Chains A and B, each alone.
Chain A
């Protein structure tokens, strides 16, 4: 019974999500590229879950599979307790939205800002008159800090930060409860990054949306997230509260990521030892046996090559997938 209650509380629940892409390997043969390989996590209403990992580890793919922009190979996604992996997504398009990674290709160059932001309103018929549509669009633009006079301009007339705001306004138009933010700030320069991130926080306070906040910058993620999940080659290797993860990283990969975060104070920075990982990230087409990280891990043992470690709770919801740490 208590288990059921918990289920209802969770906004998004991801269970063993797998996303394989068929890749041609000559002569009609295809082999699966395991972009996401068994990922599980959940997100509470109004919460931010940060998702970090290096380029190509499958963060974007996780976000898109949750929204069924890709058909997941296996695993289930629940929204408000409802299994949505096999359902018609039409009714959930109003609940779950996405802000895309690339502010340049995520806006149609042949639409005015007004039409870009207005499109979700058009699709879901969220207005009764033209005037109401306009008012809603103006309100959304104000919400993300755009001027009303921007409405009739085209996307290419805007800076990266402004484009990202347009993308955010579009995502907010349907009043979603959950937004996947796919590296919304990594294409922006640092000064604007802070602005946009603060805006995300303000919007969350105002509207109570939950975020899956994807980034590869731990500092950014730590700032905005309640909890953080660390991904490596399609798997989550560690998930914990933001502060807990920052103070007490357990997985060797997380430790090396954290040691690479620049520290403003040179004294502390000197005292800290930088853990440099050896070797390269293996290709997702040729995954090592057992633990995916073992080829670059200094603690690796025989066992790591044979078995794949599962996420184990080490108390307080701090879960780690490692035999040795």
Chain B
């Protein structure tokens, strides 16, 4: 007979606590109180939590798939983004505006003749007889890297500037924030247009990737680096001003922690949710800015595509070829949605109060 069964039984209908529901802690359970569980860092803890969030995992999977696609596809697909289709070394004029997964007349004839299988045009072709799938892949590449780089520039400059301004306070803060006000008042589009014109004059031929992207893209990066960080800097400063008032910051000073450590260990971690959300939203916003600029003809240099310029080009034949708008638009949606969900998940994972 176990310990529990020996305990007095509860009378029916009585409000008394049923003692049989309680068990004595075993020696082992008591011991558990005295051992320190494996020490974890805040980061490890947060990552574990992130991977328990289904939406966040879903968005990570989507993003990884997209990245794999833009890395691998150009190696597998035998067409180039600027290459007009050829059959047997001759330009294939019948391959204009093909529907997804179809072949042109010339290609069909060629396959009939040789028995060789040609790589399918997964998304069809455009009006210049270029494979549309590879153009969308390259467009995604361009848009994603524009978004990522622009956001990283904004993140670094904004966080550095904002945290120095907020932490130093007083006169430093006043002067730094007036500089921000001045930059805020500059018209960004005008600066971007002027910069791209000037860059075209000054550096007509740039080597490597930069040259392919064109002076417009460099102007976009520069404008993000010069102008767009101010929003981030303001947000960070405001957040730091409020976090700074907490007594744990005073406590860290009492301990003798240096300002750098205080910013790194105490202030920034408590501004993380704002930083993450803003960055997660900054990437789509940079993608949209680039799309908009491509739309007005200031984006990437043709024939290099971006999702924005592809969508713009698709407007013309919207009635006949709606899928040409659908594919780049779908890609933008996927990227933006995944980034937003990931940002949300990260914010939750980094907040210990939401920890289960």
Contacts and interface: CB of A to CB of B under 8 A. Distances in A.
A112 B36 CA distance: 12
A132 to B, nearest CB: 14
Contacts of B246: 105-106, 108
A109 interface: yes
A108 B352 CA distance: 11
A108 B355 CA distance: 15
Interface in B1-45: 32-40, 42, 45
B277 to A, nearest CB: 16
B248 A106 contact: yes
B48 interface: no
A152 B39 contact: yes
Interface residues of B, number: 32
Nearest to B261: A123
B256 A90 contact: yes
Contact of B257 (A67, A101, A115, A123): A123
A76 interface: no
A102 interface: yes
B78 interface: no
A96 B254 CA distance: 8
Interface stretch (A143-151, A285-293, A295-303): A143-151
A268 interface: no
A98 interface: yes
Interface string B263-275: 0011001101000
A156 B352 contact: yes
Contacts of B269: 108, 110-111
Interface string B182-201: 00000000000000000000
Contact of B247 (A89, A100, A115, A156): A100
A138 B256 contact: no
B251 interface: yes
A102 B34 contact: no
B270 A108 contact: yes
B353 interface: yes
B255 interface: yes
Interface in B265-294: 265-266, 269-270, 272
Nearest to A90: B256
5 contacts: A106-B247, A109-B353, A115-B42, A149-B35, A151-B36
List 10 tightest A-B contacts by C-beta distance, closest first: A93-B256, A106-B247, A154-B352, A148-B36, A110-B269, A108-B248, A120-B255, A151-B36, A105-B247, A100-B247
Given A109-B353, A167-B251, A170-B255, 7 more contacts: A90-B256, A106-B246, A107-B251, A108-B248, A108-B266, A110-B42, A120-B256
